[in-house]
Amino acid sequence: MPIPVVIHVPGRWRFLRREYRRELPTSFDEVAELRRLPLYEDLCSAPGELGRLVGIRNLLRIPKRIFRRLTDDQAAALLDAVPWMKVWPSPKPVFTQFEWKGKTYYLPSSHGMNMCALEYPLADEAFMKWVDTGDKAHSLMLVATICRELNPDADQVTTRGDKRRPLLSRSEASARCKELEGLPDYILDGVTMFFAGMKEFINKSYGKVLFEGADNAAENSAQASSPNTTPSLGWWGIYFSLATDGPFGRDVKQVYQASFHEVCLYLVDRIKQQKAREMQEALRRSDFGKEA
């Protein structure tokens, strides 16, 4: 529920005193879709609390000259009321789409639930290069990979549960990257923070089983600050193995278009079954549990 806010603005004379009654949302979900991207732009317009105050002022629709008259205590109270309003990794996208050069681009759904197997490793590769270098070219490649135009095939949209145009190759993402050149930093930051939150979610969901063998290798790397979401064999090796086994089709291109989360769940289940078989075999050995 929105938080009621009453702001009293003092004046030298009684008739100059003003009172503003407004409401502040308690999450990005309560902000109208059309206002989310402008709000995120406000948050990125200045560092830390300054950007947050710009966002609060525009949400409350209070004139700048009036907002500047707030006391430090009033400003602090407003900031305390919106702890969610910040630039921070989140598996839920703050905004779901953006316009650029006459085209509309759509982000994946919350937690990347409609991402295909092909796009995650491509996006993660771009993200980790950005983590290592800070080069915006890599964050732009990330955006070009996961943010795509509307799929004109309505039946396919229904079947896939994804309104975005399917991603078929790395070269397609590279071509889109050129089309997105000049994209504002606040959009790059918003998509990058969304992917960072999604990456944390994937690590927490599948990491103990799926990525445990790869964690040690990343401990001493520059990328250790970011959660690992790559199996020890690498995603491409895993995908070719799945194409051989056939649970998602015998062609690797079929695996590429499978749901990324369904692939992860399948792999987790397969690894758990394999470990259970290994434990059963160990229990059957005549020397199991005996001292050497």
- Specify the length of the chain in residues: 292
- Burial zone of 101 (CB within 10 Å; 0-12 exposed, 13-18 middle, 19+ buried): exposed
DSSP 70: -
Predicted confidence at residue 69, as pLDDT, reads: 85
Residues 6+ apart with CB under 8 A from 120: 112, 229, 235, 260
Residue 23 exposure: Cα atoms within 13 Å on the Cβ side = 8
pLDDT in tens, 232-261: 889 999 999 999 999 999 999 999 999 999
Report H helices in the chain: 33-44, 48-60, 64-67, 72-81, 119-133, 136-146, 154-160, 170-179, 185-210, 212-218, 235-245, 252-256, 260-284
Q: What is the mean pLDDT of each run of 10 residues along the chain (292 residues)?
A: 83 67 94 96 96 96 88 94 95 98 98 98 98 97 99 96 97 98 98 98 94 55 70 94 95 97 96 88 70 54
Distance CA 126, CA 210 (A): 21
Residue 217: what pLDDT? 44
**Predicted local distance difference test score (pLDDT) of residue 107:** 99
| Exposure class string for 268-281: b at 16+ Cβ within 10 A, else e | beebeeeeeeeeee
Instruction: Give the span between the Cα atoms of 82 and 97, in whole angstroms.
Output: 23
Q: What pTM value is reported for the model?
A: 0.89
In sign, the C-alpha dihedral spanning 212, 213, 214, 217 is: positive
Whole-number pLDDT of residue 1: 84
Closest residue by Cα to residue 242 from 255, 231, 226: 255
Q: Are strands 3-9 and 18-24 parallel, antiparallel or unpaired?
A: antiparallel
3-state secondary structure 111-158: HHCCCECCHHHHHHHHHHHHHHHCCHHHHHHHHHHHCECECCCHHHHH
DSSP lists the bridge partners of residue 21 as: 6
Query: What's the confidence (pLDDT) of residue 286?
Result: 60
Domain extents in the chain: 3-81, 97-277
Contact 187, 143 (CB under 8 A): yes
Q: What pLDDT, on a 0 to 100 scale, did the predictor assign at position 220?
A: 45
Distance CA 47, CA 252 (A): 45
